[in-house]
Amino acid sequence: MPPLVIQSALAVVVLAMLVLIIRQTRRAGAKRGRESDLEGDVQLTPAQRAMAELNRVATLGLPEKGRYAEHYALVGRTLRFYVRDRFGLAATERTPKELREDMLRAGIDRTEIATIYEILRDGDVARFHRSVSYPARAHHAVRSALETMRRAAVAEQYELMKGGRPS
């Protein structure tokens, strides 16, 4: 089978899964408040919940209002809940560096670790050092987190199709 056909078929499968994820996310969002979206939904996987919350944060437009600390606090909280729920790590109780070490020991994908660590570190700088940032950098953080969560959601779906729970 030609590689182009295989790649096209894989792209169609990933696209169909993303459409399903978005549909589930929108339905779930209409049924409950935003706090339960982030922590308590048992129907969505951790990555799906994170995607829904990251999309919500993106619509707030906090960087354009100069509210970088709040923006990064919401994005960081979302990523920490994702790591806690998906991998069972004490993500809400660790510094970015400590969490990175925990994730490395847990054998999590290094690209995923790097993205999460970089965003959490940038968030600490924005929140504690009150440095001037740029909206484009804050938007890039959300886009990077969303891309990481999309890949994680696909991995979770494969795990569910195999009959297991997303780890």
pLDDT digits (tens, 9 = 90+) for 53-110: 999 999 999 999 989 989 999 999 999 999 999 999 999 999 999 999 999 999 999 9
pLDDT above 60 (res 45): yes
Contacts with 14 (C-beta within 8 Å, 6 or more apart), sequence order: 154
Average the pLDDT over 24-51 and give the result. Answer: 68
Tell me if 145 is assigned to some domain: yes
Tokens, residue 37: 């979206």
SS3 of residue 75 by DSSP = helix
Range of the domain at 69: 3-161
Tell me if 167 is assigned to some domain: no
Q: How many domains does the chain have?
A: 1
Tokens, residue 28: 């779930």
Tell me if 108 is assigned to some domain: yes
pLDDT higher at 16 or 151: 151
Say which range, 47-56, 81-90, 115-124, 131-140, has the weakest mean pLDDT: 131-140
> What pLDDT is stored for residue 53 in this prediction?
96
Tell me if 81 is assigned to some domain: yes
Q: Note whether 72 and 130 are within 8 A (CB).
A: no
Average the pLDDT over 45-53 and give the result. Answer: 95
Q: What angle do CA 19, 21, 26 make, to 5 degrees?
A: 95
> What pLDDT is stored for residue 166 in this prediction?
59
Tokens, residue 86: 């998906």
Tell me if 166 is assigned to some domain: no
Tell me if 69 is assigned to some domain: yes
Q: Output the CA–CA distances (angstroms, integers) from residue 62 to 47, 49, 76, 118, in the order listed.
A: 23, 20, 14, 19
Measured between alpha carbons, how far is 159 from 71 in angstroms, rounded to an integer?
A: 32
> What pLDDT is stored for residue 35 in this prediction?
47
Q: Note whether 61 and 77 are within 8 A (CB).
A: no
Contacts with 66 (C-beta within 8 Å, 6 or more apart), sequence order: none
